[in-house]
Amino acid sequence: MPISSHLDRLLPRPLRPFLAAGLLLLTFLTLPPAPKDIGTDGDVSWGAVLSYAHQHCLQFGPEIIYTYGPLGFLIQGYFSEHAADLRMFADVAVCFTAAAGLCLVGWRLRIGWRLLLLGSFIFAAANLEGRGDLVLDVALFCWILLCFCESGRRLRLYVSIFIALAAFSALAKSSFLFVGLVGLALLGADLSIRRQHRLGTGMLVGYAGLILAGWAAAGQQVANLPGFVAKALAVVRAYNEALGWEGLSAIRQSGLLLALLSLVIVAVLTLTAFQAEDQKRRWRRVLLFLWASCLTFSVWKHSFLREDFRHPAFFLGFAPVLLIGLTIVPSGAVVARRWTKGVILVCCVFSLVVLQWLYLASPAHSLRTPFRAALLNLQALARPASYQARMRAATDVCRREAQLPEIRRIVGNATVDCFGFKQVYPLFNHLNYLPRPVFQSFVACNDQLMSLNEGFYLSKAAPQFVLFSLDPVDRKFPPLEDARVLRTLLFNYEPATIEKDFLLLKSKASDSPKLTLLQAGTVKPGELMDLRPFGDRDLWMEIKVEPTWTGRARQLLYRAPTVRLAAYRGAGTPLLLRRRAPPAMLAAGFLASPLLSSTADVLSLYKGTNITRPGAYSVELTPGTDGYWQRHIRFRIFSI
């Protein structure tokens, strides 16, 4: 009997992709590491807050507003003692689902392309930190692609897996909510074209039911779901407006080139898809093209909005899976497909070379990483108690470093919030943490989100104490982050003590600051807005830097150019401070005088000593970006 027959008896062909998936997931399993540098890594803090929110059933929408949802604690990137077993189960389930989808796609390819598909993903995912987004992107892509290609019982199974994955992703992270809805709508239209009306209807009902069930299981009130969706959209818009970051030109140019080539290949593969006997192929091609191009743009935009040390690598890892995966769709255009595969091979090599060159250590180290990761993950799964004990020990080290005994003595059982991005400190000190809705200051980066936080501080729910640290991210102009809460704190709170990097503020009133308009006008970029006529008054400024039509298009398709705000002692006098200033934050307003650039400046203001009052401000555009902004900048100056 041939060897292949013995193999078929021992391991039937339909089961082989799933066995491969079980082995594959070991190389990229998203088990979280222990927190490391809690003083500089804001991701530790938001991960800790998501766990805290789940423990205390805080309501997403009215009480918590963030880029993650009520199941975000199951995919956040740092170990938390809360629900450690549930988190490990979720990691295995999500990673196996992604690996199974990838292997089912791979098993439709010839052996060479199959190995390139699986090898590219393993190489990228195993070497990247915070790979959870990449894993979910690949999982959603593979399962929708299989739904477009399959029929019969398998189609019903694949649709069921897709809606479960989409519902989980939507409740875990806001961006996946919108990606999932687009995929759901286009797949539903495809099912309708194929006369699978009952399956399409069942898919929509099942998705809605899973969303509601997951929402309730996470301890959320159903009435808050519409508000969560609306505010998730507001956070996504604010992120796009204010949290972009320009990186090296090599990163930007590589990303743009790969994105353009990917979109061309997507168009060729999707618009020539399906066989001639498929009478509805034209409409199906359009739907497939819309879905694949939307997903490509979404992953690319998320990756290159922040051209930092991590995000662009996600698209570099996703592109090979996207391009190779789309070749499984049947097509009658044999010649076009043959030439396209040559370009796909070039793109895959280019993507992996750029990934290695810009983001990873030596090639030898990168190639060994999947094997080391597989061994460590296998040990963790075999002995979960040992893995969790190691993580708890590492967390305890960070907890000891975060202790604030004097602040803890003063605060006692009173409520406390944290201004800045270091929310892990009140949690590690077991304080009675009461977060404002947009709990990290740098995320409150437009008028809508700042107003929500200000309303919280002007309500009866305002905390009695605040751990305060003026430490902006991305080298932004310090008074811009959560500017209205900063104004309210200066108005209604007073210093109680200072410990380590934190100024402890204590509530003394709950009054709303009154603003009186002193001047309104327009200037051009680089021109000074003179504050000297207002002497030693406390001043609030609102500056509107409006984009042109090309500027709006650039912001939608890529990101807005960098804008900076400069403070001077007066006209023609030395520069005091120049930092990044996203227009959405300038429009929401900021404390212009006195100038606060650090926590020490805030303490000096409370004491009434060493106060710096700028004589003028100017808005400065990045050279070469003038065409993206209107020439007239409007400003208003208020006394507080």
| DSSP per-residue codes, 8-63 | HHHS-GGGHHHHHHHHHHHHH--PPPPP--TTT-HHHHHHHHHHHHHHTTPPBTTT
Residue 278 is predicted with a pLDDT of 65
Q: What are the backbone angles phi and psi of residue 433, rounded to the nearest 5°?
A: -75, 125
Candidates 178, 232, 218, 168; CA nearest to 443 is 232
Question: Global pTM?
Answer: 0.92
- The distance of Cα 429 from the centroid of its chain, to the nearest Å, equals 27
Residues 62-76 have pLDDT tens digits of: 999 998 999 999 998
> Is residue 457 within 8 Å of 490, Cβ to Cβ?
no
Q: How far apart are CA 539 and CA 191, in angstroms?
A: 59
Q: Is 92 exposed, middle or buried (0-12, 13-18, 19+ CB in 10 A)?
A: middle
Q: How far apart are CA 331 and CA 594, in angstroms?
A: 67
Please report the sign of the dihedral spanned by the C-alpha atoms of residue 8, residue 11, residue 15, residue 18.
negative
Full 3-state SS string of 211-268:
HHHHHHHCCCCHHHHHHHHHHHHHHHHHHHHHCCECCCHHHHHHHHHHHHHHHHHHHH
**Mean pLDDT per segment of 10 residues, for the chain of length 640 residues?**
54 81 93 78 87 94 93 89 91 96 95 95 93 94 94 92 96 91 94 92 94 95 93 89 87 92 93 77 91 94 88 94 94 79 94 92 93 95 94 90 94 95 93 95 93 95 95 93 95 94 92 92 93 92 95 91 92 85 95 94 90 93 92 94
Residues 457-512 have pLDDT tens digits of: 999 999 999 999 999 988 999 999 999 999 999 999 999 999 998 999 999 988 88
Which amino acid belongs to residue 491?
A: F
Could you tell me where the DSSP H helices lie in 402-475?
Answer: 405-411, 424-428, 447-457
> Is residue 46 within 8 Å of 77, Cβ to Cβ?
no
Residues 338-383 have pLDDT tens digits of: 888 999 999 999 999 999 998 998 999 999 999 999 999 999 999 9
User: DSSP class of residue 306?
Assistant: B
Q: How far apart are CA 291 and CA 285, in angstroms?
A: 10
Q: What are the backbone angles phi and psi of residue 577, rounded to the nearest 5°?
A: -160, 140
